[in-house]
Chains A and B, each alone.
Chain A
């Protein structure tokens, strides 16, 4: 293999296959190798694994296909570790699930345990060409949430994309307790000066928290309301091609409400970076 390794798991369903063109474009951008893995017990030889994905052989040009043993989630995580994968590209579910539960069990376990960022692609996405031209990084103002900026900016640099940073504020909400958190201003004495100054400081502070790839332009936006809903609306309005979100890695119960909403409703792939 040359360059970084990207993994795309395919279970033979039409749903899962939607991830392949996105994964191939990401591998091209990274200059890396794409490994298609198919999990079964026992593991299938490569040719049989390729056949089991249900896709024509022509779809696998320049791709490594592996059959791996074990449950799908275990196999994906283990393969990512063995290949020191830079990215796992997969669908959040590959069977029909209730509308309120759009992250299936396999994807949920991979998200919890993956040693690298995970790019979730909407199942049944048409196999249209995809290139990230506009990338959105939502920030809640905590230093932790800025973890998504670096990987997003690397993709932006490689794709020649612009980076949009969105801070969503709202009522009935306390400021996050994490030290160094920066929110929207409590006072806008003179909007003609205040927003310019705030935007410059917010952008500067966020970019200081992580390395922004050279040559990437960063624009800041503010929205008010429910974070998940606002992120989705913004992505639709600005024709965003990729959303990069930092998250804590916990999906249980009421946790990660924003991540769940964005994954469920976003019009584009969602890159989840755990901090």
Chain B
């Protein structure tokens, strides 16, 4: 091409990637650059109308939330047929080799459930497609049901490296692949959460119930009711990876109990709504009539309780007797605490990488009295070193729900800085997609205080003083609810075909008609 000095030129090149050259060429057939760009802009406009968050009065917070939404929207493919998921760094960098962790199911998925259910559905499709590998993994350990891998890739086999070389050159065993069995409950939680928020019966019938059943089967074979009459899960590691090989980890037990109960509920729902599919499922996976009752017995006996006097839930058996280390004495600190203290001493101490009890309270908020949540947050928060980027966002959400806004703001800012500050030494590896999801949860589940009701949604807002207003959209069972919160009122606008009920703290629940707009004053 000949060009003239001072001239302005535009060069377009369309690139398609597919499994074969023929398929790639087919993708480009009859497409022009302008049409492709226009379609791209329109697709982003549609997604952004649901994903964008407005924070009036705090530009930095708004920018961080939009940064999170941008990367999350970019990460998931709603048209995927279950062959791919979102890795820990999405597709933004080579770190973590694209492996899929619980980050996707627990930290990112809520964003997709409430802003673009088809993307959430596609991510769950990946877990369903890899269910056979999870069954095989459980079978390999002499257990029943399905044990999802800690790190999953294309086929769903466990691809967790068995060892790590630390920065000081030490070879460290990696326990997460061997002991973080909570991943199976995390996947089950994701499936049920999606079903509850979307009302997608077809998903439950075709895939969700089977995942719930197989993960429940895993738990009843993984633990047992012992002489004390309690169901124990021994030799596990919770999300707090500073403490491998513990018994009765609160997060694992709490999520396993929930998994067992929801599996029984899923079977009951199938019985009620689609009995023929229940019979087909039972025939396909050999589901015995008595199994749901067995799950409920294990759940009822699960070792997990708050001390009646202190209201504290012990993170694992013997945790309270471990060495106390005052983390405040290490401040200011810019490095993970394991690099300072060493993993051996951390394992003997009360220092947490992330607080398993706080995580459990966050996911199952409605199951615990607020006094229990408050007592445990106050106890575990100073013992938590936040060595995981997944930790501060959950602390922000929990502190916000408890009305501790100064703490919530501090953790929100810390989460926002993980990818935006570029001082963590790992920007080139890609964004921390799980942490981005936790930032969204801190804003919507934390500051806006959103929770599910059977007939709609509820909001218990705790907005920081500088947030003059918070605006966002959420999807619920085929409808879109646009929400604007400020210090005095909550404005709700409903798009869709059917009414829904919304409860705002301090006011009676209101039913909103399709196309309707309601202002609830506090």
Q: Is A190 part of the contact surface with B, judged by Cβ < 8 Å?
A: yes
Rounded to whole angstroms, the CA-CA distance of A189 and B97 in the bound complex is: 14
Q: Which of B109-117, B162-170, B247-255 contacts A (4 or more CB under 8 A)?
A: B162-170
Rounded to whole angstroms, the CA-CA distance of A141 and B423 in the bound complex is: 10
- Assess the A187–B163 pair: CB atoms within 8 A: no
Shortest beta-carbon distance from A177 to chain B in Å:
11
Q: Is A2 part of the contact surface with B, judged by Cβ < 8 Å?
A: no
Q: Is A153 part of the contact surface with B, judged by Cβ < 8 Å?
A: no
Q: Provide the main secondary structure of the chain B interface.
A: loop
Quick one: given A187-B389, A192-B160, A204-B428, are A220 and B423 in contact (CB under 8 Å)? no
Point out the residue from A173, A197, A224 that lies within 8 Å of B426, measured CB to CB. A197
Shortest beta-carbon distance from A168 to chain B in Å:
10
Give the one of B163, B330, B334 with max A CB within 10 A: B334
Rounded to whole angstroms, the CA-CA distance of A193 and B425 in the bound complex is: 13
Rounded to whole angstroms, the CA-CA distance of A143 and B429 in the bound complex is: 20
Q: Which of A6-14, A24-32, A178-186, A265-273 contacts B (4 or more CB under 8 A)?
A: A178-186
B 365-396 to A, binary, CB cutoff 8 A, 1 in contact else 0? 00000000000000000000011111000000
Shortest beta-carbon distance from A32 to chain B in Å:
35
Q: Is B257 part of the contact surface with A, judged by Cβ < 8 Å?
A: no
- Assess the B166–A172 pair: CB atoms within 8 A: no
Rounded to whole angstroms, the CA-CA distance of A188 and B343 in the bound complex is: 12
Point out the residue from A169, A185, A190, A196 that lies within 8 Å of B176, measured CB to CB. A190
- Assess the B334–A174 pair: CB atoms within 8 A: yes
Query: Please, which residues of chain A bring their CB within 8 A of the CB of B424?
Result: 185-187
Rounded to whole angstroms, the CA-CA distance of A169 and B429 in the bound complex is: 21
Rounded to whole angstroms, the CA-CA distance of A240 and B386 in the bound complex is: 35
B 94-118 to A, binary, CB cutoff 8 A, 1 in contact else 0? 1111010100000000000000000
- Assess the A190–B168 pair: CB atoms within 8 A: no
Q: Is B402 part of the contact surface with A, judged by Cβ < 8 Å?
A: no
Rounded to whole angstroms, the CA-CA distance of A221 and B169 in the bound complex is: 7
Give the one of B330, B425, B427 with max A CB within 10 A: B425
Rounded to whole angstroms, the CA-CA distance of A169 and B418 in the bound complex is: 19
- Assess the B340–A187 pair: CB atoms within 8 A: no
Query: Please, which residues of chain B bring their CB within 8 A of the CB of A101?
Result: none
Q: Is A202 part of the contact surface with B, judged by Cβ < 8 Å?
A: yes
Rounded to whole angstroms, the CA-CA distance of A200 and B426 in the bound complex is: 9
Point out the residue from A171, A175, A189, A190 that lies within 8 Å of B330, measured CB to CB. A171
- Assess the A201–B167 pair: CB atoms within 8 A: no
- Assess the A191–B429 pair: CB atoms within 8 A: no
Query: Please, which residues of chain B bring their CB within 8 A of the CB of A194?
Result: 95, 426
Query: Please, which residues of chain B bring their CB within 8 A of the CB of A200?
Result: 428
B 323-341 to A, binary, CB cutoff 8 A, 1 in contact else 0? 0000001111111101110
Q: Is A60 part of the contact surface with B, judged by Cβ < 8 Å?
A: no
- Assess the B335–A169 pair: CB atoms within 8 A: yes
Q: Is A251 part of the contact surface with B, judged by Cβ < 8 Å?
A: no
Point out the residue from B101, B164, B387 that lies within 8 Å of A187, measured CB to CB. B387
Query: Please, which residues of chain B bring their CB within 8 A of the CB of A189?
Result: 88, 388-390, 432, 434
Which chain B residues (425-465) contact chain A, with CB distance < 8 Å?
425-429, 432, 434
- Assess the A183–B425 pair: CB atoms within 8 A: yes
- Assess the A184–B428 pair: CB atoms within 8 A: no
Query: Please, which residues of chain B bring their CB within 8 A of the CB of A222?
Result: 166-168, 339
Q: Is A130 part of the contact surface with B, judged by Cβ < 8 Å?
A: no
Rounded to whole angstroms, the CA-CA distance of A196 and B95 in the bound complex is: 8
Q: Is A170 part of the contact surface with B, judged by Cβ < 8 Å?
A: yes
Query: Please, which residues of chain A bring their CB within 8 A of the CB of B339?
Result: 169, 184, 188, 222, 224
Query: Please, which residues of chain B bring their CB within 8 A of the CB of A220?
Result: 167
Point out the residue from B97, B169, B332 that lies within 8 Å of A173, measured CB to CB. B332
Shortest beta-carbon distance from B385 to chain A in Å:
10
Shortest beta-carbon distance from A167 to chain B in Å:
8
Shortest beta-carbon distance from B422 to chain A in Å:
9
Rounded to whole angstroms, the CA-CA distance of A167 and B166 in the bound complex is: 13
Query: Please, which residues of chain A bring their CB within 8 A of the CB of B387?
Result: 187-188
- Assess the B165–A202 pair: CB atoms within 8 A: no
Give the one of B151, B335, B386 with max A CB within 10 A: B335
Quick one: given A171-B340, A187-B386, are A197 and B429 in contact (CB under 8 Å)? yes
- Assess the A182–B425 pair: CB atoms within 8 A: yes
Q: Is A195 part of the contact surface with B, judged by Cβ < 8 Å?
A: yes
- Assess the A187–B427 pair: CB atoms within 8 A: no
Rounded to whole angstroms, the CA-CA distance of A172 and B340 in the bound complex is: 11
Q: Is A199 part of the contact surface with B, judged by Cβ < 8 Å?
A: yes
Chain A positions near chain B (C-beta within 8 angstroms):
141, 167, 169-175, 181-202, 204, 220-224
Chain B positions near chain A (C-beta within 8 angstroms):
88, 94-97, 99, 101, 151, 160-161, 163-169, 172, 174, 176, 329-336, 338-340, 386-390, 418, 423-429, 432, 434
Top 7 closest pairs, chain A to chain B, by CB:
A222-B167, A192-B164, A171-B330, A197-B95, A197-B429, A187-B389, A184-B335
